[in-house]
Amino acid sequence: MSEHDYWKIFPRMPKKITIGDITIRDGFQHLEKFISTRAKIFYVEELIFAGCRNIEVTNLGNPYLMPQFSDAEEILAHLRSDRFKKRCARKGIDTDDVCITAVTIRERSVDKAIELKKNGVGPDRILMMVSTEEEHHFANSGTTLPDYWAEAERSIKKCTDAGIKMCGTVSTIWGSPIAGATDMQDAVEFTKRWLEIGAHDIEHADHDGSASAPDVYRYFSMILDAIPNTDLHLAHFHETKRVASASVLAALQAGITQFEATIGGMGGQPANFLDDTPVPGTGDYYYEDPRFVGLTCLEDMLVQIDEMGIEHGYDVDRILWLGRQMEKTVGQRLRSEAAINGRTLKEGHMEFARPGLKKRKEKLGEKPDQNFPTEWAEKAVLPEAYQP
């Protein structure tokens, strides 16, 4: 007979996970509308109040290229303010337990993060990024892989001295939107290289929705065979074909315990138009239709994880409420189905019941919980042709 215990089938699958939120950075970077600083602060706070303890809040790169993040220092300063700390304390939250991340693709941005740290408002953790496919890497960073690795090594040494953690991202693991298919074994080697030069943890990224569930399971099994410490690994899935939930499940089955998501499944390549003005971003979009891209949706992921009985630390209902507010903020329907349709309620939706069932059963002489005719046997007898 088949094994029915899911955790025996997949013994590496965790009972508790961490989900970091990256809405304010990755989610907003693809929008062609500036989100006000007040709105960004509101969502950062509410996400933390709802249980988020790992949150990515801005990009410290050149605001001329990505003006969505021209308020980076103001956001970070608010998160270090006494006002914010007092608000957290009233809710029983220790701000030392919250890890604030900013993206720093190039060394100049790393230097900026270190300077902010010296001034008391810097991030706890920053992020640099390599792609295993060099054309994609060049589009993101403007330099070659060897040159960038040397830059990353210098930057990590600076961060270590400044007390800032460095996350090393490995992208195009399952394919590149520019040059096509890639070799997953390259990503395993890139992961080892990041750890060799001192990275604190690794974001394993599908940046264009190329991943399939079997390859996700295969890759993360390879990673955990090579580097078993799950605290080092973070899964980051984009969505272009509405299959990222399968990738999340496959990563769980392989044993991954850390994930990232955005409210409403927002995100994608940095915008090259903002409000009424073309901006550089990272150049032309490499999607056929930039409306249908984004990351794994936080609301839907939480409902999925919650239904599986996996501990996650969030107030799911609060996140669903935030998702509905976010649609008003950005002025469009987002990707979350759970934010609209809610959770699976164990008590059901009795307001939709057809009246009269109880009376009908009484009239027919049936017991309230009776499912089959009284003359039938207590258990079904399966015809021999259909027996295992």
What's the domain range around 382?
355-386
Backbone angles phi, psi at 261, to 5 degrees: -160, 170
Determine, yes or no, domain membership for 312: yes
Would you state the pLDDT for residue 1?
73
253 and 376: one domain?
no
Determine, yes or no, domain membership for 4: no
293 and 379: one domain?
no
56 and 150: one domain?
yes
Q: How many domains does the chain have?
A: 2
- What is the SS3 assignment for 40? helix
Would you state the pLDDT for residue 209?
84
263 and 361: one domain?
no
Would you state the pLDDT for residue 345?
79
Q: What is the mean pLDDT of each successive set of 10 residues along the chain, which is 388 residues long?
A: 90 97 97 97 98 98 96 98 97 97 97 98 98 94 96 98 98 93 97 98 91 97 98 95 92 98 94 96 84 91 95 97 97 93 83 94 96 95 94
- What is the SS3 assignment for 174? coil
279 and 376: one domain?
no
Determine, yes or no, domain membership for 311: yes
Q: For the chain, first and last CA: distance in Å?
A: 9
Would you state the pLDDT for residue 370?
96
Q: Which residues of 257-281 are buried (b: 16+ CB within 10 A; e: fewer)?
A: bbbbbbbbbbbbbbbbebeeeebeb
Which is it for the CA torsion 213, 214, 219, 223, positive or negative? Answer: positive
Determine, yes or no, domain membership for 157: yes
Question: CA torsion, points 260, 21, 171, 332, in degrees to nearest 10?
Answer: 110
β-strand 273-274 against 277-278: which pairing, if any? antiparallel
245 and 367: one domain?
no
332 and 378: one domain?
no
Would you state the pLDDT for residue 240?
84
Backbone angles phi, psi at 101, to 5 degrees: -115, 140
Determine, yes or no, domain membership for 6: no
Determine, yes or no, domain membership for 249: yes
Q: d(Cα 286, Cα 275) in Å, to the nearest integer?
A: 20
244 and 364: one domain?
no
Q: d(Cα 69, Cα 92) in Å, to the nearest integer?
A: 30
Would you state the pLDDT for residue 350?
86
Determine, yes or no, domain membership for 348: no
Burial of 104 by CB count in 10 Å (0-12 exposed, 13-18 middle, 19+ buried)? buried
Would you state the pLDDT for residue 290?
76
What does the block give as tokens for 167?
Answer: 């996350």
366 and 334: one domain?
no
238 and 151: one domain?
yes
| Cα separations in angstroms, 54 against 87, 118, 189, 228, 253 | 18, 21, 26, 22, 22
106 and 160: one domain?
yes
Would you state the pLDDT for residue 285?
87
For the chain, how many residues are written?
Answer: 388
Q: d(Cα 55, Cα 261) in Å, to the nearest integer?
A: 10
214: region left, alpha or beta (phi > 0 left; psi from -120 to 50 alpha): alpha
The DSSP call for residue 205 is E
Would you state the pLDDT for residue 346?
79
Determine, yes or no, domain membership for 107: yes
Residue 250: CATH number of its domain: 3.20.20.70
261 and 379: one domain?
no
| Cα separations in angstroms, 195 against 20, 61, 189, 207, 232 | 21, 24, 10, 21, 9
Closest CA to 191 of 180, 182, 204: 204
Give residue for tokens 């890890």.
Answer: 99
Who's near 86: CB < 8 A, 6+ residues apart?
A: none
Within 10 Å of residue 213's Cβ, how many Cβ atoms?
17
CA atoms within 13 A on the CB side of 385: 0
